[in-house]
Structure formats: C-alpha cells, structure tokens
C-alpha cells in the first residue's frame, strides 16, 4: 500500500479525532440514535479503542416518536458491543415542564435540544461525539470538527476556534462543552460505502419495503398513528426506504426499490435530491432553520 | 464486486483551497464545479432558482450555492472557511472555500493548512493583483507546492489566447522564484462553464486539460510518506492477557510522517531510549507496515515509560528535541499578543507552557518584505523565538508539515490564538 484510498483516509481521521476526545476531555459521551451515521461512529469507536471498552458511555436522546425497528436495533447493537447506554427522553422533559408541545403529533426534533442540554448538565459531559456531516446542510458547511458550545449549549458561529492542520483544542471551562463530529468530512455516499465495506447492520427501514404513504409536495409522508393522512389525501402503498431515521412526525421515506446496500450506493451515487430535502419536513420550513436550532443547543 | 462499490472504494481524496480576490468569480466557479459534477441536488437547485428569481435574475445564480449562514447574510460578511464536497469517478474532493478579503489571512491559513493543492483565481482583465500575490505567498508559506491558476472571465476578452498567455506569464514572473513544484494555468469562463468541467466550444486553441481534469490528475502530496517516521503517542492503554504475567502497553496514535514496519529500530523521545517495533495492530488485525496517515496501535519490544505527548521516531533520523526554536506564527485572535498572558503550545499530542521570547520581524505579505515590529495583532504573520517549558520533538515545517506545526492556546480563555510553523 502506498497511498490510502479516500475511505481509509476518512476512517483514519475519524479514529484520530475520537482518540483526541478520549485524551483531552475528562468526561465525554457518544450520541447514539440507531441511525446510520451513529452506527458508523460506533464502528469507528471500535477501531479506535478495542480491545478495551469505550472510554465513554453511549447516550440516546429519545424523542418518543420512534420507529420501533430503530429502538430494537439500538438495544441489540449496544448489547453486542457490551457498552453502557444512557437514555434520556423528551417525554420526561415535557412532563417536567421544561418544554411545551401544542399536540402529541408535533415534531420533537427541536425539543431534543433541551433534553440534550439537560442530559449534558446532569452528567457534566464536557464533550459529546455526534454523527453530523458538513455535507448535510448549509449551516453545517462551516461547522468545526470540535464545535464549542457555551454553558447554555448554544452554538455561536462567531465564537468558534480556528482548526488548523489536525491540531484540535478541546479545552473548556466547567459547564461548557464541545460537540465533536468525527465524520464531518464524510458524504452520504461515503457513509453507505463504509457500511458496505465494514458489513455493518442497519435498521431494516433503511432498505426498500412496502409502506403506506401520502404525497405531500415533493415528499412522501408515511402514514403512522402520529402522521395520519389529511382530508382528501390518497393513501398509497409504495416501495420506499428511509434515508434518515429521526422523529417519526417529520421523517419521510423516498421511493426506492433498493433492497440492499449495493443498491443504495448505486442510487445515492445518482440521486438528485439532498438527504434532508427529501426526508426532513422541519428543514423545509425555513432556509435557516438548522442554523437556528443549532444556536438553541441542537446538534 | 459491484462496479459502483469498486469505484467508491478505490478513489483517492484530494483536498484543495480556492483563493481569489472579491469579484473574480470564486463563488461562481465553485458553484459551477459542484453543479457540473452533479453534486448539486434538485432541491438545492430549486432553492437557488427561487432566490435568483426573487432578485430579478433570469437564470439560477450558481454563486448562491455557496451562500453562507443567515448570520453572515444579515451582516453582509463572510465569517470563515466553508468546506464543500464533490466527487468524480476518479477522485473525491474536499474544497476549503475561504473568503478573499485582506482581513481574512487567518481563514486562508486555516484552509491552506490541510490542502494538497491551491486554485488561485484571476480575472483575465485584471491580471496579477496585490491580493493574488498575498494569496500565493500564504499558500507557499503553508507548504502547498502545486498551484492551479484559474484564469477566469475569458468570455469578457473574446476568449483571446494572447490575453491568457500574458496573464499566465506575468504570474510566472512573480511566482517562479517562490519555488512551487508545479504551476498549471487553465483559461475558463466560470459563468458559461467553458473549461471547468466541460470544454465548451469557445477556446479551440487551448489543448491542455480542463480544470476538473487537472484536479483529477495532479499528484496528491505524497512527500509526507517519504519523510522520516514520526508517531506522536495519543493514548497509552494497558492490557493483561490471562496467560501472560506481564501487561502489554499499547501506544495509540497516527503515523504523522514516513512509514514503519515490525522490527524497525525506533527511538522514544524525549527519553532517548532505543527499542524495536514489536507489533502494529488495528481493529482488523495485525499489519506489517503502517504508512503516514494511518491510525494504529503500536507495541514495543522494551518496556519503556511512555505517556501522551511522547514520540516514537525513526532511530536513524530522529527529530530535533529542544526547548527553544524560531518559528513563523500567524495571529488569529482579535486581541493581539499580550506577553503577560499565560500561553500553552500544542505540538502533535504534546501540550506545554510557552513564551514568545522575541519578535524578529513582521512579514509584509503584500510586498513580501520584512518589517521590524514590537507587537502582534490579528492576521499578522511574525517571525518569533519561542521558548517552551518542556522540550518538544520537532522538524522544520518545510520538511514535515505535521511535525513542524503547532498552535498556541490562551490558558485562561482556552481560545486558540495563533498557528505556528517551525523554521
Ligand atoms: N462574464 C463573466 N462574469 C463572471 C465570470 N465568473 C463570475 N462572473 C461574474 O463576476 C461577478 C462576481 O462573481 P462571484 O462568483 O460572486 O465572485 P467572488 O466574489 O469571487 O465569489 C458576478 O457578477 C459573476 O456573475 C465569468 O467567467 N465571466
């Protein structure tokens, strides 16, 4: 081997970043949702730390609006890895009166930020590793790999540390924290290529399956108990797959017959709609909505 | 194996930075690269088409694809480096898109620090501008050896070959003494797309590569593979096998330069003890050789007391270990240097207390001359003497980017205030 190919380079960079977190932070955590990006993070953590156990617990911020397959997958994967999982739920945040919802079927994506910040305070985490990528959305293109958050969890684009070469500075004062994104430089296609190369299991709903949906704008909205069809919408059963698996009330599948990872890679390589555009109702509302949510403590 | 997968797994990664003066067409060019290489998706296109129409334009303005944050739009400023991604069947690319304005030297330094290649954009009508010189100097300082000169707006000079050659030649006159390995010029119209991804019809006289062909074929910087072996230890783990009485010490880290094989003679610094590589392990199994860029776990034959910040290096070609050295630093912080502040220096995995002992000169980057100085302000590039409390194991930046670079951290605020290159 004389030169590393691009996946090797991305993998090696991510391992280096995870080890820097372990070395520089006193009390880190890794956010694991059961989605594909965090599944990749877990493999990278294995690559960084095995044969020892991870130097951080796994944390899931549970919106309560889950696809059940994803939660089953989460628990199975954690058991296989024999690592510690901490779950904190948005439901509890609402019960404690720290967040208000108009109705049960409202998206809880934004509320996740409150639960996350509460969880960080509860355990005094000084670094949280997450699976965000810069190619996902405009507000992320300028995100640092080590992203500084103040004691309210807020992201201030003007108060970020320069990242030069591969020299990361994770120092924080008590109460502040770092959000660390080891796969910042990966694209959706890289993630799927890596899942294929590493033969990683992902929840079934990432693969094509028959599902009842309604058409709303460019999106296919799944018919669930939280997202019933509106009047005069026609329910159709189509072959679909999910590209992201977030809050059930705002996550849409795309039409697809890709039943395995090779087929997904082939589709991703020629796809014509961005991951978020096709699948996230919440990012559609305003061009700046991700930026806004990050300022409020969101990932 | 499936063809797509095969292609996906064997492409190289090239990182490049784009530099240009305001209005030379940098946003248009990046938009064009992303659009013509099909990295732009329908919904992104729909969004910018809508915005373009709202602003009274008939066609989608590709420059909007690289539009920044809402916070930036509101304040009419560009805050900092944006990273963008696209690929062709041959390569995966990461663009560091940096604002061109003079006060953003620090952003250019950031973008250039990880780039293999720099695209320097010029307006064919304007030729070599002060900004062009400044960008070229910074790129060279940061150790980039290959330049692609994008001579843009050829449509505004009727795609004239002579105009292109004149600008190219005047750039060479200025840049040749700087010692780049390679300077390739491509005439183009980012607006119309000629010679970016598609050749177009307008410049039959140009027989060289299009911009994308150049990017697909320039050499990924491999100098670091041929530099001596350096392995800054990130973490030390201990494992005890049930059948072994002794614990094994695992040294986790990334090969920053050179290569290393099992059995190689190495020296552990700063202790100066020699030993040999016993094993190189990865999650996927033991390997014989690790190369620059690879994150691995190393074990050594001899039990040596090693902790984070120490370095395992080639015994026959070790780094220089010292507590004082001269360096070129670029100041990043809004507040200038205050010598009363407690500063930390991070070099590789080592963090030590530091003092800026003497200011030798300030580099006037526009004219490339040295001027005396007694203070350091944001965006200044200054030659200094540095002293550190503990010795560091260093190489000159010119010979070894990863082991010749450092950052300076304000111990109280925790901010990263400067980036440095060892002279
Ligand atoms: N005629 C012509 N105009 C161009 C070309 N490239 C960019 N422009 C125009 O030059 C102006 C500045 O371009 P922009 O990409 O915003 O420049 P930036 O400030 O370097 O990012 C815009 O009005 C562009 O439409 C080109 O190749 N030909």
pLDDT in tens, B320-337: 999 999 999 999 999 999
What DSSP designation does B44 have?
Answer: H
- What mean pLDDT comes out for the span B91-113? 85
Mean pLDDT computed over every residue of chain B: 89
pLDDT tens track for B163-220: 999 999 999 999 999 999 999 999 999 999 999 999 999 999 999 999 999 999 998 8
User: Distance between CA atoms of B231 and B275, rounded to whole angstroms?
Assistant: 14
Q: Which residues of B touch A134 (CB under 8 A)?
A: 83, 85
B132 & B213 share domain: yes
User: Distance between CA atoms of B378 and B105, rounded to whole angstroms?
Assistant: 9
Of all protein residues, the one whose alpha carbon is nearest to atom 25 of ligand 1 is B191
Structure tokens at A119: 């969880």
Nearest residue, CB atoms, A161 vs list B235, B293, B415: B415
B199 & B333 share domain: no
User: Distance between CA atoms of A6 and A187, rounded to whole angstroms?
Assistant: 12
Q: Which residues of A touch B412 (CB under 8 A)?
A: none
Q: Is there a contact between B368 and B134 (Cβ–Cβ < 8 Å)?
A: no
Choose the mutation target among A49, A141, A288 for the interface with B, i.e. most B CBs under 10 Å. Answer: A141
Instruction: Give me the phi and psi of A72, to 5 degrees please.
Output: -60, -45
Buried b (16+ CB within 10 A) or exposed e, A26-64: eebbbbbbbbbbbbbbbbbbbbbbeeeebbbbbbbbbbe
Task: Identify the CATH number of the domain in which residue B230 sits.
Answer: 2.40.30.10
Nearest Cα residue to A245 out of A253, A236, A255: A253
Instruction: Name the pLDDT band for B348 (thresholds 50, 70, 90).
Output: very high
B205 & B301 share domain: no
Count the domains in chain B: 3
The residue that leads in pLDDT, B104 or B66, is: B104
**How do strand B405-410 and strand B343-347 relate by DSSP bridges?**
antiparallel
Give the ranges where B368-418 is alpha helix by DSSP (H): none
Residue B309 has pLDDT above 70, yes or no: yes
**Residue B94, beta-bridge partner list:** B15, B85
Which residues line the pocket of ligand 1, CB cutoff 6 A? B 20, 22-28, 63, 152-153, 155-156, 189-191
Q: Does A296 touch chain B (CB under 8 A)?
A: no
Ligand 1 midpoint to CA B24 (Å): 6
Ligand 1 midpoint to CA B72 (Å): 20
- What mean pLDDT comes out for the span B78-89? 81
Complex prediction ipTM: 0.92
Nearest Cα residue to B400 out of B257, B295, B222: B257
User: Distance between CA atoms of A160 and A108, rounded to whole angstroms?
Assistant: 27
Please report the pLDDT score of residue A293 as a whole number.
Answer: 57
Residue B386, helix vs strand vs coil: strand
B61 & B200 share domain: yes
Ligand 1 atom with the smallest distance to the CA of B66 is 21
Residue B139, helix vs strand vs coil: helix
B108 & B58 share domain: yes
CA distances from A162 to B175, B267, B351 (A): 28, 33, 17
CA distances from A298 to A57, A108, A130 (A): 20, 12, 11
In terms of C-beta density within 10 A (0-12 exposed, 13-18 middle, 19 or more buried), how is residue B79 classed? middle
**Residue A128, beta-bridge partner list:** A29, A179
B287 & B302 share domain: yes
Instruction: Name the pLDDT band for B86 (thresholds 50, 70, 90).
Output: confident
Q: Final residue of a domain: which of B285, B314, B343?
A: B314
B144 & B174 share domain: yes
Task: Identify the CATH number of the domain in which residue B102 sits.
Answer: 3.40.50.300
Residues 6+ away with beta carbon under 8 Å from B164:
B124, B151, B154, B185, B187, B206
Please report the pLDDT score of residue B3 as a whole number.
Answer: 44
User: Distance between CA atoms of B210 and B200, rounded to whole angstroms?
Assistant: 10
Residue B72 has pLDDT above 70, yes or no: no
Structure tokens at A165: 């070469």
Q: What pTM value is reported for the model?
A: 0.91
Instruction: Give me the phi and psi of B232, to 5 degrees please.
Output: -75, 130
CA distances from B224 to A259, B111, B320, B350 (A): 42, 19, 17, 20
User: Distance between CA atoms of B65 and A285, rounded to whole angstroms?
Assistant: 18
Question: Ligand 1, from B21, B24, B25, B56: best to mutate by most atoms within 8 Å of Cβ?
Answer: B25
Token match 């096709």: residue?
Answer: A278
Instruction: Name the pLDDT band for B404 (thresholds 50, 70, 90).
Output: very high
Q: Final residue of a domain: which of B221, B239, B266?
A: B221
Q: Final residue of a domain: which of B171, B188, B221?
A: B221
B310 & B325 share domain: no
Distance from B375 to chain A by nearest Cα, in Å? Answer: 21
Residues 6+ away with beta carbon under 8 Å from B331:
B106, B337, B376, B377, B378, B379, B380, B381, B382, B417, B418
Across the interface, whether the CB atoms of A23 and B349 are under 8 A apart is answered yes
Residue B372, helix vs strand vs coil: coil
Residues 6+ away with beta carbon under 8 Å from B201:
B194
Residue B421 has pLDDT above 70, yes or no: yes
Find the distance separating the first CA and the last CA of chain B, reported in whole Å: 48
User: Distance between CA atoms of A125 and A55, rounded to whole angstroms?
Assistant: 13
Residues 6+ away with beta carbon under 8 Å from B156:
B124, B125
Across the interface, whether the CB atoms of B291 and A16 are under 8 A apart is answered no
Q: Which residues of A touch B291 (CB under 8 A)?
A: 1-2, 4
Instruction: Name the pLDDT band for B37 (thresholds 50, 70, 90).
Output: confident
Please report the pLDDT score of residue B69 as a whole number.
Answer: 55
Q: Does A262 touch chain B (CB under 8 A)?
A: yes
Domain that holds residue B363: 320-422
C-alpha A109 chain-centroid distance? 11
B229 & B364 share domain: no
Across the interface, whether the CB atoms of A138 and B80 are under 8 A apart is answered no
Please report the pLDDT score of residue A143 as a whole number.
Answer: 86
Instruction: Give me the phi and psi of A183, to 5 degrees please.
Output: -105, 30
Return the H-helix or E-strand segment holding B115: none
Q: Does A15 touch chain B (CB under 8 A)?
A: yes
Ranges of chain A whose pLDDT falls below 50:
1, 283-288
Nearest-Cα residue of chain B relative to residue A7? B9
Ligand 1 atom with the smallest distance to the CA of B20 is 20
Tell me the domains of chain A and their CATH numbers.
Answer: 6-190+287-295 (3.40.50.620), 204-283 (no CATH)
B195 & B275 share domain: no
Please report the pLDDT score of residue A284 as a whole number.
Answer: 45
User: Distance between CA atoms of A271 and A265, rounded to whole angstroms?
Assistant: 10
Peptide bond preceding A178: is omega within 30 degrees of 0, i.e. cis? no
B215 & B230 share domain: no
Distance from A255 to chain B by nearest Cα, in Å? Answer: 15
CA distances from A28 to A120, A130, B135 (A): 10, 11, 39
User: Distance between CA atoms of B416 and B419, rounded to whole angstroms?
Assistant: 8
Please report the pLDDT score of residue B7 as a whole number.
Answer: 46
Radius of gyration of chain A (CA): 19
B78 & B56 share domain: yes
Across the interface, whether the CB atoms of A12 and B291 are under 8 A apart is answered no
Nearest-Cα residue of chain A relative to residue B77? A158
Of all protein residues, the one whose alpha carbon is nearest to atom 4 of ligand 1 is B191
User: Distance between CA atoms of B348 and B259, rounded to whole angstroms?
Assistant: 17
Question: Ligand 1, from B28, B129, B189: best to mutate by most atoms within 8 Å of Cβ?
Answer: B28
User: Distance between CA atoms of B286 and B85, rounded to whole angstroms?
Assistant: 33
Q: Is there a contact between A33 and A7 (Cβ–Cβ < 8 Å)?
A: no
Nearest residue, CB atoms, B416 vs list A8, A166, A169: A169
**Residue B248, beta-bridge partner list:** B239
Nearest residue, CB atoms, B5 vs list A51, A134, A262: A262
Q: Is there a contact between B329 and B379 (Cβ–Cβ < 8 Å)?
A: no
C-alpha A274 chain-centroid distance? 16
Please report the pLDDT score of residue A279 as a whole number.
Answer: 60
């Amino acid at each position: 081997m004389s030169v590393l190919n691009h996946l090797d380079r991305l993998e090696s960079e991510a391992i280096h970043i995870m080890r820097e977190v372990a070395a520089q932070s006193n009390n880190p955590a890794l956010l694991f949702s059961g989605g594909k990006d965090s599944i990749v993070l877990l493999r990278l953590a294995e690559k960084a730390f095995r044969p020892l156990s991870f130097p951080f617990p796994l944390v899931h911020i549970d919106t309560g609006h889950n696809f059940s397959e994803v939660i089953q997958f989460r628990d199975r994967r954690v058991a296989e890895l024999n690592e510690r999982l901490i779950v904190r739920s948005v439901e509890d945040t609402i019960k404690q009166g720290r967040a208000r919802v108009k109705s049960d079927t409202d998206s809880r994506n934004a509320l996740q930020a409150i639960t996350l910040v509460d969880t960080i305070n509860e355990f005094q985490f000084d670094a949280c590793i997450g699976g965000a990528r810069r190619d996902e959305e405009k507000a992320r293109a300028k995100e640092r790999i080590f992203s500084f958050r103040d004691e309210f969890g807020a992201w201030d684009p003007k108060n970020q540390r320069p990242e030069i070469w591969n020299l990361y500075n994770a120092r924080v004062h008590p109460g502040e924290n770092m959000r660390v994104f080891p796969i910042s430089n990966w694209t959706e296609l890289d993630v799927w290529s890596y899942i294929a190369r590493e033969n990683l299991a992902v929840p079934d709903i990432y693969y094509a399956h028959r599902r009842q949906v309604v058409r709303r704008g460019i999106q296919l909205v799944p018919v669930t108990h939280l997202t019933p069809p509106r009047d005069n919408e026609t329910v159709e059963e189509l072959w679909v797959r999910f590209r992201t698996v977030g809050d059930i009330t705002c996550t849409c599948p795309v039409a697809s017959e890709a039943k395995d990872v090779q087929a997904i890679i082939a589709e991703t390589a020629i796809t014509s709609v961005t991951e978020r555009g096709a699948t996230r109702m919440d990012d559609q509302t305003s061009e700046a909505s991700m930026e806004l949510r990050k300022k409020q403590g969101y990932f | 194996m499936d063809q797509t997968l095969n292609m996906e797994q064997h492409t190289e990664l090239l990182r490049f930075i784009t530099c240009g003066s305001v209005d030379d067409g940098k946003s248009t060019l990046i938009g064009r690269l992303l659009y013509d290489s099909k990295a732009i998706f329908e919904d992104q296109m729909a969004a910018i088409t809508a915005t373009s129409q709202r602003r009274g334009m008939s066609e989608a303005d590709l420059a909007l694809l690289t539009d920044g944050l809402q916070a930036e739009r509101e304040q009419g400023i560009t805050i900092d480096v944006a990273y963008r991604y696209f690929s062709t069947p041959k390569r995966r690319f990461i663009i560091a898109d940096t604002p061109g304005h003079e006060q953003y030297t620090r952003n250019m330094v950031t973008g250039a620090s990880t780039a293999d290649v720099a695209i320097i954009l010029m307006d064919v009508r304007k030729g070599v501008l002060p900004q062009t010189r400044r960008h070229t100097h910074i790129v060279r300082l940061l150790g980039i050896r290959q330049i692609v000169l994008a001579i843009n707006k050829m449509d505004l000079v009727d795609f004239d070959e002579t105009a292109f050659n004149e600008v190219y030649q005047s750039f060479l006159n200025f840049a040749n003494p700087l010692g780049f390995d390679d300077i390739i010029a491509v005439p183009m119209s980012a607006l119309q797309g000629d010679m970016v991804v598609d050749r177009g019809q307008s410049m039959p006289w140009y027989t060289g590569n299009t911009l994308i062909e150049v990017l697909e074929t320039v050499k990924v910087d491999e100098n670091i593979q041929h530099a001596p072996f350096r392995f800054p230890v990130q973490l030390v783990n201990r494992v005890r096998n049930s059948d072994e009485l002794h614990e094994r010490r695992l040294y986790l880290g990334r090969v920053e330069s050179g290569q290393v094989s099992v059995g190689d003679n190495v020296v552990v610094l700063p202790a100066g003890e020699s030993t040999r590589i016993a094993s190189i392990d990865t999650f996927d199994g033991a390997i014989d050789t690790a190369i620059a860029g690879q994150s691995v776990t190393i074990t050594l034959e001899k039990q040596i007391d090693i902790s984070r910040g120490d370095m395992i290096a080639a015994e026959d070609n070790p780094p220089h270990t010292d507590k004082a050295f001269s360096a070129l630093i670029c100041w990043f912080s809004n507040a200038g240097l205050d010598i009363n502040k407690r500063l930390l220096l991070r070099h590789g995995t080592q963090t030590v207390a530091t003092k800026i002992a003497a200011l030798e000169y300030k580099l006037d980057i526009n004219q490339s001359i040295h001027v005396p100085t007694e203070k350091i302000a944001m965006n200044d590039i200054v030659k200094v003497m540095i002293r550190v409390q503990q010795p560091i194991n260093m190489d000159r930046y010119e010979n070894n980017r990863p082991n010749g670079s450092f950052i300076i951290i304000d111990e109280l605020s925790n901010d990263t205030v400067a980036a440095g290159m060892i002279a």
